[in-house]
Amino acid sequence: MLEKLQRELERVEVFRKKAIEFKDQRFPELEGFNLIECMPYHVVDGVPHYYYIVEEVSERLFLHHARTLDECALAVMAVTDISKVDVIGALEAMAIPVCTSLCLKTRKPMAVIGKRKYMDDVSGYTPPGQIEIVKTTGYSKTYLYANDIPRGSNVLLVEPISSTGGSLRRVTEEFTKRGVNVVDMVTIIGKPDYGYEEEIAKAGREAKTLLKVQIKNYVELGDGHGYSDTDVEKTEWFRKAEPVVDALRS
């Protein structure tokens, strides 16, 4: 299951982005790959940079193959009680193709939790139930918006990659305020070094992660771009899903 994705993750393409949590701090004694507060950062002239990994599931740079999307959707189905789900919540952008496959397989509707605020440019109309979520990651602060999710709905959240956990935590907290129930959440790839599990736990939840990736080093090939070797762990959820996916795939 997901053999191609696993190979991509073992030596993964990386871009580095300035870490906003350290925007007023400098570490002149550090340079290159370092652990700061037990998390991996690349320090350039004292400025920490976050390692942003890119691969087929979580990034729009690549072709997205039917087998990968199909196996991701089947794996989510294998670790989730779909009968309890009313709406599939796809965190933009790259959860959308996975959740489209999941939507077609389960016949459950999909809601995109995305960056575009809906406001009509002529009338100024904004949907009354539009939910705004402040999203903070390791390298930026943005907003997410969700529409047409009725109060009382049971939502499954799907995220292609989790690092700091800020998106899943904030979506869960905002949905709860609006009377929307997050009944489960699944992330395809997790980066535990950046604390996503602890952050999600602050909302009283747990994300079911399929593959966990830990960055071991960083080799820069150009300005802000390179590769990292990693440790890739198949989690208990991966092992639970794998025989189901392999049986259905064959």
Q: What is the pLDDT of residue 139?
A: 61
Would you kindly state where each structural domain of the chain is located, as residue ranges?
Answer: 3-249
Q: Are 14 and 189 in contact (CB under 8 A)?
A: no
d(CA 211, CA 48): 26
What pLDDT was estimated at residue 135? 73
Give me the pLDDT at residue 225, please: 93
DSSP per-residue codes, 83-112: GG-SEEEEETTTHHHHHHHHHHHH---EEE
Per DSSP (E only), the strands in the chain are 11-18, 32-36, 39-44, 47-54, 87-91, 110-113, 131-136, 141-146, 154-162, 181-190, 208-215, 219-222, 225-234
Do residues 161 and 81 touch, judged by C-beta distance below 8 A? no
Running along the chain, 250 residues long, what does each successive block of 10 average in pLDDT?
94 91 88 92 94 88 88 97 98 91 97 90 89 75 90 97 92 96 97 95 96 95 92 98 89
pLDDT at 223: 84
Rounded Cα gap, residues 246 and 226, in angstroms: 33
Element (H, E) at 38: none
Name the packing angle between helices 66-79 and 236-249 (round to 10°).
120
Q: What is the CA radius of gyration of the chain?
A: 19
pLDDT of residue 136: 64
CATH topology of domain 3-249: Rossmann fold (3.40.50)
Beta bridge partners of 133: 144
pLDDT at 44: 93
Distances (CA, A) of 10 to 25, 62, 70, 172, 226: 32, 17, 21, 31, 14
Give residue 101's Cα distance to chain centre.
17
